Structure 1
Amino acid sequence: MNGIDNSISPARATHASLWRNPQYRAWFTADTASAIGLAMKGFAISLVAFSLTKSLPTAGWLTTASLIAAQTADVFGGTLVDRHRRKRLIILNAICGTVLWGAVFALLASGLLTFPMFAVVIVVASTINGLLGNATNAMLRSIIPTSDYPKAQSLNQGRDSVISLAGSPLGGVLYAFGAWVPFAVASIMYAIAGISAGMLHVDEHVRSAIRRDDGERDARGSFVDDFVAGWRWTLRRRTLMAMNAIAALLNFGVNGIFEAVQLQLVGSGVDSVRIGFVSTAVGAGMLIGAVIAARVCDRLAVGTGLVVMSVAALATLAPMIVSHAYPVMLVSSLLCGLPVPTINALLMGFIFAKVPTDMQGRVDSSSNLICMLPTMFCSAIAGSLLPAIGFRATVTLFLAALAANVAIVLAMPAVRSIPAADHWNEAEL
């Protein structure tokens, strides 16, 4: 904040207050265990798919199918999350994760897993996570005050960075030991998430009414009424829709390049440990970026952060056009991760602060669909183009999306003018 000596860090005081909250500690443990489980199984999916089929397009399309299933379910998941007790949904999601990934572990370990069986489990697990996964983030609004959210988000970004830093090489080592091991670890992590969620004792303020457009509260409506109300609320916020469109291009460009990198390495026969170190490089960049985010996210304007992120994504990944050497991939990945925690904290904090508590799940799901719709096809596009046109041409396609995003951000003053956190109450979503 302005006028305060940074040597007495307000971030430190806020972090301390968060850790003194037992409900936040239980929430953070559940969220962290789920994130570790996601990292473990996520790393191994394309490797297992390729080992079962020996086909890059098939491995790419399986990842795309899982994303389509998750995003389709997420469209309805936000309404589900807003209508039911979020703690119960978190526990149910953890139980499903424990059972499904435990089944993959058992089938792989016994040599009985076939590609059709694996594909069914992946799609089913993605669908369940799409329906229930938003409950964790939506519940945070009932645990901490809005003013603490940017700092809580910076903590989450730091946590995610550590998981990326250690998770992928660890996943590579575990996979090298046995293809079933990452899935066994994922199953255990989801079990821990369910146990931690069971320790939450929070007044969730479960809705018994719906906030209508005229500001009045009417009797609780049907699922369809709530679903339509959520989309109507989202689509009428011009700044939110602009931010979603920008995020969609960023996600498509960045994720497309990283999908191309992973599939290129898989197809080239690179060992799983070295493949994992690409995600480690991203995680290292994000870990450094999370330290920066904790210091600046209270003061940096959202619009400025979005411009920086857009330019940085294009600039840091562009060297892959010139070379697809492994060191170039690592350095570009590390640099690309640096600004991510700051912009995530700013964008998510701004939206979190402006969306009513009873709309958190629905706005999150509708925004996620818009932001992730092009990204769902990144793996399929990369897997199909790599054998046909090569790595550099494939990367060029995704970089073109990032270049278009930079032009859009610079041309939209409504987005560039979104202020810092202490002036969010003056800004429109």
Structure 2
Amino acid sequence: MVNIACVASITGAQIMLAARGTRAVMIGLLGTAMGVSTLVGSLLANKLVDMVPTGRLIAGALALFAVSQMPLLFLHSYAAILICQILAGLPFPALNAGLLGFLYGKTPDNMQGRASAVFETTVGILGAIVPAAVGWLLQQPGLGFTAVMGMAVVCAMAGLVVALIGPLRRISTPDQWSESEL
């Protein structure tokens, strides 16, 4: 769900801006700004993963992503997109470090390859379908970028609900992962 939300948001913004005639360098700066915010987030990720229980970290990162994208349901200016994408990039390194660290930390060594194949295949297939869905939504009269951002927000919120009501919310800090069960 998280990857669908992220890919929809980024791809939707890029395609919509290109269709509007936004200069390519400005679209490139959007990706650069999100990359820099993700880099800043990565500088904080280790500390956050060690200090904040992973379940709370996952929920917090998803909440920040969802909230950062909600303005784009109503605002479609370049400045709004830039600010929202910068905010969206901040929590992803901690989210990935916590979630994937736990997944691979709990997976026995002899199952690492299988776990990776299942995870990466699932994410890859869904990630490959999202740009086509985004392109289709952008072409629909009356839907456009608002529908794309609606898809991103709904997917982020669905991920947040799963994190809050499921066993994910009980995942502790890495020093206690060996005791955690899902």
Larger Rg: 1
In structure 2, distance between residues paired with 1:264 and 1:402:
20
**Matched position secondary structure for 2:139:** helix
AA in 2 matched with 1:390:
G
**1:272 aligned residue (7, 16, 24):** 24
AA in 2 matched with 1:428:
E
Q: CA deviation at 1:359?
A: 2.3
What is the match of residue 361 of structure 1?
Answer: 113
In structure 1, distance between residues paired with 2:73 and 2:50:
36
Q: Could you tell me the TM-score, scaled by structure 2's length?
A: 0.91
What is the match of residue 180 of structure 2?
Answer: 427
Name the % identity: 28
Question: How many matched pairs?
Answer: 180
What is the match of residue 163 of structure 2?
Answer: 409
In structure 1, distance between residues paired with 2:151 and 2:105:
35
What is the match of residue 151 of structure 2?
Answer: 397
**1:344 aligned residue (85, 96, 99):** 96
What is the match of residue 6 of structure 2?
Answer: 254
In structure 1, distance between residues paired with 2:85 and 2:151:
18
Q: CA deviation at 1:370?
A: 2.9
Query: CA 1:428–1:332 in structure 2 vs 1: closer, same or farther (change >3 Å)?
Result: same
**1:380 aligned residue (129, 132, 147):** 132
Q: Which of the pair is proportionally richer in helix?
A: 2
Which structure has more RCO (C-alpha within 8 Å, separation ≥ 6)? Answer: 2
> What is the CA RMSD across the aligned residues, in angstroms?
1.6
In structure 2, distance between residues paired with 1:419 and 1:393:
36
The unaligned stretches of length 5 or more in structure 1 are: 1-248
What is the match of residue 302 of structure 1?
Answer: 54
Whether contact under 8 Å (1:251, 1:372) holds in the other structure is: no
**Matched position secondary structure for 1:374:** helix
Whether contact under 8 Å (2:49, 2:57) holds in the other structure is: no
Q: CA deviation at 1:372?
A: 4.1
In structure 2, distance between residues paired with 1:362 and 1:404:
26
**2:66 aligned residue (297, 301, 314):** 314
Query: CA 1:277–1:301 in structure 2 vs 1: closer, same or farther (change >3 Å)?
Result: same
AA in 2 matched with 1:275:
I
**2:171 aligned residue (413, 418, 425):** 418
In structure 2, distance between residues paired with 1:368 and 1:428:
22
**Matched position secondary structure for 2:51:** coil
Whether contact under 8 Å (1:307, 1:406) holds in the other structure is: yes
Q: CA deviation at 1:327?
A: 0.7
What is the match of residue 239 of structure 1?
Answer: none
What is the match of residue 193 of structure 1?
Answer: none
**Matched position secondary structure for 1:324:** coil
Whether contact under 8 Å (2:102, 2:174) holds in the other structure is: yes
**1:292 aligned residue (44, 55, 69):** 44
**Matched position secondary structure for 1:256:** helix
AA in 1 matched with 2:130:
C
The unaligned stretches of length 5 or more in structure 2 are: none
AA in 1 matched with 2:137:
L
AA in 1 matched with 2:147:
A
